[in-house]
């Protein structure tokens, strides 16, 4: 039995197990299963990796950066460049390599969404809410799409905005707003990033990486202001398929 799974804490919000169970049934994939592994601390990972049946893991909050020291290597094109991991490939000899498929999922989904709306990311200014592991993939993807991302943090560092910096003028200049925080995620569905929603207009695009619930409080508030909205479900699907490709691709050796 080839085993795959998701590590994080908590995991009550995740659709990943359901997604892969349906994929295995739909595509008649035999001898594989996908489980949820709640790790109270990342120090529990080495024990999990002793499972001889384990072939790959996805990584979610709060371990996308904390997991890196526990891995044998990083993919140069994604994880090393971004500085965060959401996919781990486990090789036959037990060695591990980290990848970032969040980058792929976000980049493709946001580009397709904006294109459907008759917009281009080129030259578009974006506010990226949150400073966790997911924000790194989002910022890199936006830069590669020739957009201009601006990080927003509760405790801003150099070059970052605090939420108090989001004036009417700043909001007008930044038409794309991406929530990379867990605010609004089930079960805390009443929470939302503290941006000045009164300054959002029909010219704005609000993208939430959260996909459970489908319409977060963040997106609901944006829709009330006539903004275009998009949740993280498509991103989940795209990154999951990319993870599966990484896990199952035949390989004999790899560059550490």
- pLDDT single digits (tens) 55-83: 999 999 999 999 999 999 999 999 999 99
CA nearest 103: which of 57, 58, 124, 134?
134
In which residue ranges of the chain is CATH 3.40.50.10860 found? 2-100+236-248
pLDDT for position 163: 98
In which residue ranges of the chain is CATH 3.40.50.720 found? 103-235
pLDDT for position 12: 84
- Summary mean pLDDT of the chain: 95
Contact status, residue 174 vs residue 125, Cβ threshold 8 Å: yes
User: Does residue 239 carry a pLDDT above 90?
Assistant: yes
Q: What mean pLDDT comes out for the span 17-42?
A: 97
User: Does residue 252 carry a pLDDT above 70?
Assistant: no
User: Does residue 256 carry a pLDDT above 60?
Assistant: no
Pair of tokens at residue 38: 């709640």
pLDDT for position 250: 53
| Residues 6+ away with beta carbon under 8 Å from 116 | none
CA nearest 4: which of 120, 61, 97, 88?
88
Domain 103-235, CATH number (from 3.40.50.410, 3.40.50.720, 3.40.50.300, 3.30.70.20)? 3.40.50.720
User: Residue 159: which region, alpha, beta or left (left: phi > 0; alpha: psi -120 to 50)?
Assistant: left
Lowest mean pLDDT: which of 8-12, 34-38, 217-221?
Answer: 8-12
pLDDT for position 86: 96
Report the SS3 class of residue 208: strand
User: Does residue 35 carry a pLDDT above 90?
Assistant: yes
Q: What mean pLDDT comes out for the span 210-229?
A: 97
H or E stretch covering 21: helix 16-26
User: Does residue 254 carry a pLDDT above 70?
Assistant: no
pLDDT for position 2: 96
User: Does residue 197 carry a pLDDT above 90?
Assistant: yes
The active-site residue, picked from 18, 64, 66, 97, is: 64
pLDDT for position 109: 98
C-alpha span between 146 and 144 (Å, rounded):
5
Pair of tokens at residue 199: 């300054």
pLDDT for position 255: 37
Pairing of strands 176-179, 205-208: parallel
Percent of the chain with pLDDT over 90: 95
User: Does residue 161 carry a pLDDT above 50?
Assistant: yes
Asked if 18 is an active-site residue, the reply is no
Contact status, residue 127 vs residue 177, Cβ threshold 8 Å: yes
CA nearest 227: which of 201, 192, 188?
201
Fold annotation for 2-100+236-248: Rossmann fold (3.40.50)
């Amino acid at each position: 039995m080839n085993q795959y799974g998701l590590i994080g804490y908590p995991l009550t919000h995740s659709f990943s197990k359901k997604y892969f169970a349906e994929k295995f049934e739909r595509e008649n994939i035999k001898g594989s299963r996908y489980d949820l592994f709640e790790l109270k601390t990342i120090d529990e990972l080495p024990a999990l990796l002793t499972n001889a049946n384990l072939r790959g893991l996805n990584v979610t909050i709060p371990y996308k950066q904390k997991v890196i020291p526990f891995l044998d290597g990083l993919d140069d094109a994604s994880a090393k460049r971004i500085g965060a991991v959401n996919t781990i490939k486990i090789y036959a000899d037990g060695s591990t390599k980290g990848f970032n498929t969040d980058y792929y999922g976000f980049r493709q989904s946001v580009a397709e969404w904006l294109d459907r709306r008759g917009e281009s990311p080129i030259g578009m200014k974006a506010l990226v809410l949150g400073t966790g592991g997911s924000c790194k993939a989002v910022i890199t993807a936006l830069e590669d799409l020739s957009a201009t991302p601006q990080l927003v943090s509760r405790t801003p560092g150099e070059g970052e905005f605090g939420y108090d910096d989001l004036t009417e003028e700043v909001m007008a200049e930044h038409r794309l707003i991406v929530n990379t925080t867990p605010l609004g995620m089930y079960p805390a569905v009443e929470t939302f990033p503290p941006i000045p929603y009164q300054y959002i207009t029909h010219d704005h695009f609000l993208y939430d990486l959260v996909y459970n619930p489908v319409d977060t409080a963040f997106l609901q508030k944006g829709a009330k202001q006539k903004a275009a909205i998009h949740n993280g479900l498509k991103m989940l699907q795209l990154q999951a398929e990319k993870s599966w490709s990484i896990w199952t691709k035949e390989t004999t050796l790899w560059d550490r």
